[in-house]
Structure 1
Amino acid sequence: MKFTLAACVFVALTSSAFAAPEKRSGPGKRGLCWPYYNTPLNPGLFHDGSGSVNLIYDYETYAPLSSNGNGGLAFIGMQRCMDCQSSPIAELKARQQEQGFVTLFTLNEPDANGTSPASAAQWYIENINPFTIKKSLPAVTSSTSPGLGLSWVAEMISACAGQCYYDYINLHWYGQSLAEFESYVEQAHNQFPNTQIVITEFALQNPSGGQAAQVSFFEGAFSFLDGLSYVAMYFPFVATSPNLLAENDSGAVSYVGTGSTLYNNDGSISAAGKVMLM
C-alpha cells in the first residue's frame, strides 16, 4: 500500500498520542493513606495509568471521602477499632460485601492504646477469621519498648495459638534516617520470615530539612521496598495537604511535620507526591 508523506505524519502522531502509558516503579505496591477529612482532594490524580500507584485505604470500612471516590484505585477496608461508631464490627461483613474490597486491614496501633495481645487475638479469631479475603494482623508502631511494636505482634501470634488466619504483618514506622528504616523492615522480616509485610504509615520524624528531606527519604525508601519480594504494599504518610493536616491533626504535624504530605494546598500533587509516580 502506498502512503503519502502526510499520511505517514498522521500515523506517527496518532500512534504517539494513543501509546500505552509508560510503566514505572512501584510494581503494584504503592498506595495512598487517606485521612477522613480529605473530601476536597482527588485521589484520581495518582491513577495516571502508569501502574505506579494502585491502592488506597482510609482507616475505615467505608469508601474514601473525596471529590472522586477512590479515584480508580483499589480500596482496602480497615477495621481500625474493635468496635466504633465509624466502623461498627456488626456492619463489617455487609460493608465488605457491598463495597467488594478484597483485602482487610485490622486495628490501628493497638500496642500504643493499651489493647492486650490476648484480647486482640480473641477478637481477631471471632471477627476476622471468618473472612476468606486477604487479611492483615493489626498495624503496630515501630516502638522498641518491651510489649510494643514487633514484640506485641509476636505476643499476639503466640496468643492466637495457631488459630488466627492472616496474610500480612502490618507495620508503621517513624524515625530519623533511611538506614534506620531499612534496618527496621529487615528486622521485621527476620522475625516473621514466612509472612508478607505491609507498611501502612511511614515517614521521617519531623526532619529539620522539611519537605526536601522527606522527598529524599521517600526516593530511597521506595526503591528499597520495590526490591523486596516480602513487602507486598506500602503507604507513605500521608495523602493529604499541609493545611488539611494542620487543621485536623495537630499531633501529626508536631510529630512528622507537613513535608511528607502528598498534596499541595491547591490540591495538586506535591514534590513528595511526585515521588510516588516515579
Structure 2
Amino acid sequence: MKVSLTALVALALDYLFATPAAKLGPGKRGLVWPSYNGELDPGRLNDGQGTVNLIYDYETYAPLSSNGNGGLAFIGMQGCPDCDSSPISKLAERQQQLGFATVFTLNEPDLSGTSPGVAADWYKQHINPLAIKKALPAVTSSTDPGKGLDWVQQMVNACGGGCFFDYINIHWYGENFAQFQAHVNDAHSRFPQNKIVITEFALQNPPGGQADQITFFREAFAFLDSASFVEMYFPFVATSPALFEFHDPNGAAFVGTGSTLYNNDGTISAVGQLLVQA
C-alpha cells in the first residue's frame, strides 16, 4: 500500500510533538509534611506524571492540608511507641481505613534514648502483624557509638531474625554532598540485602542558604535516582520558611529555611521546583 508524502510528514510531526507519556509510578521522591501545614497544598508538587508521588506526616492520620494528600500516596508513620496523635492501638485500624501500603516507624529513637532491645520487642508486637511494607525506625546520621547505623545494627541483632522489615530508614544532615553520599553508601554496605529510604535530608544551615541547598540537592537527587538500592527519598522539608520558623524554631535554626519546598505565599520554592524536575 502506498503512503503519500503528505501523510508521512503528518505522522512525523505527530511523533515529534506528541505529549510525553505519563511516567510509571511509584517513583522515589516524596514530601515530608509537618502537621502545621494546613494552609499549604501538596498537590502543587504533584505534576501528574509521578515525579513526586509520596507523602508522610510522622503520623498515622492523613496529612492536614488544603488538599488532603494532594493525590500523592500516603505513607503512615508510627513515629513514637504510643502517641496521643497516633495511638498504637489505632495503627492497624488506621492502616485499613487509609489503605497505606507502607509504614514507617519510630522517629530518631537513637536520639531519644530508646534502647534497641526495647524497640525490637515493640516492633515484633505492633509492626510485624501488619501485612504491608515496613521500615525499621528512622535513625540520625550520628557516628557516635550506639547511635545512627550502629543503633540499627543493634536492633537487628536484638530482633534475632524475628523482625520483618523491608527498608532501612535513615536521616542525614551535614556539610556537603560527599558526606551525604558516603553515609548513604555506608548504610547500603552494612545492610546490602535491604532497600534504603532517606526520610529526612538537607545541608545543615549552609552559609549560602537556598543557593547552597539547591546545589546540594541537584547532586543528591541525581545520585539517589541512579542508586538501585535507594527506594524512596524525602528532602527536608515540605513547608514554608515562615511556618517552619514559627512552629519549629529549633529545627529552623538547625537546618535553616533554605531547603523548604514552599515560599511564604504557598507557591513552590526554587528547591521545590528542582524536586519536580525529571
TM-score of the pair, normalised by structure 1: 0.92
Determine if the alignment matches structure 1 residue 240 to structure 2 residue 214: no
Q: Distance in 2 between matches of 1:132 and 1:274?
A: 35
1:80-99 aligned within 5 A: 80-99=79-98
Q: What is the CA distance between 1:50 and its match in structure 2?
A: 2.5
Please provide the CA RMSD for this pair: 2.0
Aligned to 1:125: 124
Q: What is the CA distance between 1:253 and its match in structure 2?
A: 1.1
1:99-118 aligned within 5 A: 99-118=98-117
Determine if the alignment matches structure 1 residue 36 to structure 2 residue 35: yes
Give yes or no for contact 1:27–1:226 (8 Å, CA) kept in 2. no
Give yes or no for contact 1:30–1:55 (8 Å, CA) kept in 2. yes
Query: Measured at CA, do residues 271 and 22 of structure 1 come closer, stay the same or move farther in structure 2, by a change above 3 Å?
Result: farther
Determine if the alignment matches structure 1 residue 76 to structure 2 residue 75: yes
Q: Which runs of 5+ in 2 are unaligned?
A: 1-5
User: Cα deviation per residue 1:11-59 (whole Å; 9 max; x = unaligned)?
Assistant: x89x96x8346659x9700000000000000000111122210100000
Determine if the alignment matches structure 1 residue 162 to structure 2 residue 170: no
Q: What is the CA distance between 1:232 and its match in structure 2?
A: 0.1
Aligned residues: 267
Q: Distance in 1 between matches of 2:272 and 2:23?
A: 17
Aligned to 2:223: 224
Percent sequence identity is 63
Aligned to 1:249: 248
1:129-144 aligned within 5 A: 129-144=128-143
Give yes or no for contact 1:237–1:260 (8 Å, CA) kept in 2. yes
SS at match of 2:200: strand
Query: Measured at CA, do residues 75 and 265 of structure 1 come closer, stay the same or move farther in structure 2, by a change above 3 Å?
Result: same
Give yes or no for contact 1:63–1:70 (8 Å, CA) kept in 2. yes
User: Cα deviation per residue 1:59-116 (whole Å; 9 max; x = unaligned)?
Assistant: 0000000000000000000000100100000000100000000000000000000100
TM superposition outliers: structure 1 runs of 4+ over 4 Å: 20-24
Q: Distance in 2 between matches of 1:265 and 1:37?
A: 14
Aligned to 2:265: 266
Q: Which runs of 5+ in 1 are unaligned?
A: none
Q: Distance in 2 between matches of 1:214 and 1:172?
A: 16
Aligned to 2:212: 213
Give yes or no for contact 1:23–1:51 (8 Å, CA) kept in 2. yes
TM-score of the pair, normalised by structure 2: 0.92
